[in-house]
Amino acid sequence: MKFKIAVLRGDGIGPEITDIAVRVLQAVGRRWDHDFAFTEAHAGGEAWDRYGEHLPAVTLDACRAADAILKGPFGGPTSEINHPKWAGIETTAILGLRRAFDLFMNLRPVVVYPEVVALSPLRPEIVEGADMLIVRELTSGIYFGERGERTVDGERQGFDTESYTEGEIARITHGAFRIARVRRKHVTLVAKSNILDSSRLWRDVMARVAPEYPDVTHDYLHVDNASMQIITNPRQFDVMLTNNMFGDILSDEASVLAGSLGMLGSASLNAGGFGMYEPIHGSAPDIAGQGKANPIAMVLSAAMMLRLSFQLEDEAAAVETAVRAALARGLRTADIAGAGGTLVTTQAMGEAIEAALAG
Ligand code: IPM
Ligand code: MG
């Protein structure tokens, strides 16, 4: 089979971890005889260098021509945040890509592999066996609502607006229930319905959609309570459904279960199943180019691509097994080195994953 992948290597640690993910995919291609064709395109800071903009039309065209997008993190050092190369990059490049392809369904699995239980600052008896999937709405809500600055009673007021239509909520809710069916069949909606009208609408839509999935149970938590329960009783969660903002915050928090942001991949899908795959962490410019970055989040994102865009379940599972094998050997990049093991570079971790894949 031939699969076309647009590769956006990204900024900071992006290129080095993306290269590892590409090598892992190539190893999969060799073992299973798949033809992965990679097209490099540019977005973010590297696109600014080439084209003077963060998300040029040529990049969107290259992505459109592909079967899936593999994306590294974008962004520059905080000290240069006002430089035009970096200013507004989150909105122009990251939100721009999400919007351009209507990638409304963001899947962020938080899996605590037995090999890395000790990495979490939480006690093993709490995190052991946790396996949740955050389903985050990604193309609406406060990220895309009316915003700006105005003058009220002579002083500046900044504002951002949270708003959701029934249709936007319904499509992600259906997505969450469908995924729950192939997991442990439970959906928890997280919102703030004791205060927010938009959250009340989420609950209404949930109540309307849920009966279509009689085999899936569901419950509801306020976001403040959910944020506590993620670290006190994470095993209760299967699928956690959230709006854009709460999912952003809770997914960083939940990464603590797995020991590091460097361990978590993600998928962002549209209604047609087209997807973009990226780690949930940022570009970490302070450690860029030093071989210190953890490539696992990027590699696990590539595994999600195999599973969700290409329906290659065995291959996806093999990549995940290879990651676990490298971890089981005690190999650790700097971000996960705290609990012992052997400190290795980004490249050495990548080679170990490739070696495990080759069998
Ligand atoms: C994420 C990131 C982005 C977000 C930023 C970089 C715009 O934090 O993907 O979680 O807030 O969605
Ligand atoms: Mg985030």
> Rounded to the nearest whole angstrom, what is the distance from the C-alpha of residue 247 to the centroid of ligand 2?
8
Maximum pairwise Cα distance, the chain: 69
Mean pLDDT of 68-95: 96
> Rounded to the nearest whole angstrom, what is the distance from the C-alpha of residue 359 to the centroid of ligand 2?
35
Tokens describing residue 169: 């909520």
pLDDT for position 103: 98
Query: 83-124, pLDDT tens digit by residue?
Result: 999 999 999 999 999 999 999 999 999 999 998 898 899 999
pLDDT for position 52: 98
Residue 339 has pLDDT above 70, yes or no: no
Cα dist from 209 to 170, 187, 212, whole Å: 7, 12, 6
pTM: 0.97
Burial class of residue 327, CB neighbours in 10 A (0-12, 13-18, 19+):
buried
Mean pLDDT of 313-336: 96
Three-state DSSP state, 220: strand
> Rounded to the nearest whole angstrom, what is the distance from the C-alpha of residue 226 to the centroid of ligand 2?
17
Mutate to test the pocket of ligand 1, among 8, 71, 90 (most ligand atoms within 8 A of CB): 90
Q: Cβ distance 243 to 164 under 8 Å?
A: yes
Cα gap 114→107, rounded to integer Å: 22
Nearest ligand to residue 71 Cα: 1
Nearest ligand to residue 266 Cα: 1
Cα gap 52→292, rounded to integer Å: 29
Mean pLDDT of 30-56: 98
CA 205 to chain centre: 25
Spatial neighbors of 241 by CB under 8 A, at least 6 apart, are 135, 172, 173, 176, 187, 188, 189, 190, 206
Domains and CATH numbers, the chain: 1-112+260-359 (3.40.718.10), 121-258 (3.40.718.10)
Pairing verdict, β 105-111 and 265-269: antiparallel
Q: Cβ distance 106 to 137 under 8 Å?
A: yes
Residue 1 pLDDT class (50, 70, 90 cuts): confident
| Protein residue closest via CA to atom 4 of ligand 1 | 248
Mutate to test the pocket of ligand 1, among 248, 251, 266 (most ligand atoms within 8 A of CB): 248
Mean pLDDT of 184-202: 98
Q: What amino acid positions are annotated as catalytic residues? A: 143, 192, 224, 248, 252
> Rounded to the nearest whole angstrom, what is the distance from the C-alpha of residue 289 to the centroid of ligand 1?
22
Residue 338 has pLDDT above 90, yes or no: no
Cα gap 225→89, rounded to integer Å: 32
Query: 255-296, pLDDT tens digit by residue?
Result: 999 989 999 999 999 999 999 999 999 999 999 999 999 999
